[in-house]
Structure 1
């Protein structure tokens, strides 16, 4: 039995991932005739009122993926040099809640955003200059570079693409949703390799921090 907060992946009519929505928003789009097609497993069957002519009760199936009419007005942003907004939530999920200095995994409350090149040394607050760090490692590093602090950076930070960012925003992502998103990931993406491995292991419910 799925939780009622299981998210639905919304795309535009071309299949470009846009956002995650709740079942209420998905039903509204269906009722308004704004859904062009649906993909993936049926998550819910919502029961409506009784048709006065047929006496039958309305049943609305809600699929894991719904494509809405038209193309996204900002679709051009999702290609080329588009960079998603940076947030700690997405950053920690990009790095799997792992401190990229000590290599241990932590609860998000024990993590912090570290600037590889410190702001005090004219570093910038961008995806390619920030990593997940436990508070202990971040405090030890201070306003120094990893080299100055004698610390090794375990992975190279990177900016996710739009599709990867949509993934990082998700919760309890289902396998069919993940397969759909994976098709939009760059071929040599770090996240692509990670998630392809998860799918190969047969996991039916995927979370960015698992």
Structure 2
């Protein structure tokens, strides 16, 4: 898989993953303010009419980008099953066993049928057997303790969760410094 580039805002807060083509456009628009990490990709372009040399851009693993019209920082990361299961290490938080993506489901600790919300702090990965057994019961009504409490990942953790299979060491090091104390990645 192709490595992506970690885009930061000017304050160094992680915003999103971008493809190399987007990074080239940001360079061309002179929006890249500072960079970190190793080179992800070297891109060559056409010949300069002034110098006769081929244009080259080395794209770094991490880049801070200015401009107010660019993507704003999220306050709540999107809740997807992929990110949820990754947060919970593909482990059912009731029986503690590891499962594949297809064997897991999203369980609402406080069931939605009883007023629970579909948000990070109320959902856990559960194997289908445990999820069915729990049904719409509250934990206080059934003998099924959680092995870990659900939490909302911050933006740095979320970006690590959704790109875990192709994240570079320098990118992970940068993100890890911003993880919350709840993170299993520390």
2:96 aligned to 103, 107, 112, which one?
103
Task: Write out per-residue CA displacement over residues 128-182 of structure 1, whole angstroms, 9 at most, x where no aligned residue.
Answer: 1110001111111111123433222110111112222222222411111111112
Unaligned stretches of 5+ residues in structure 1 = 197-210
SS of corresponding position for 1:138: helix
Task: Write out per-residue CA displacement over residues 85-113 of structure 1, whole angstroms, 9 at most, x where no aligned residue.
Answer: 32212211111111101111122121111
Deviation at 1:69, TM superposition (A): 1.3
Q: What is the correspondence of 1:1-210 to structure 2 with a 5 Å cutoff?
A: 3=1, 5-70=2-67, 74-75=72-73, 82-171=75-164, 172-186=166-180, 189-191=181-183, 194-196=184-186
- Please provide the CA RMSD for this pair: 1.9
TM-score (norm 1): 0.80
SS of corresponding position for 2:23: helix
TM-score (norm 2): 0.89
Instruction: Check the 8 A contact 2:3/2:168 in 1, yes or no.
Output: no
Unaligned stretches of 5+ residues in structure 2 = none
Aligned residues: 184
SS of corresponding position for 1:173: coil
The structure richer in helix per residue is 1
C-alpha separation between the residues in 2 aligned to 1:29 and 1:91? 31
Deviation at 1:73, TM superposition (A): 7.3
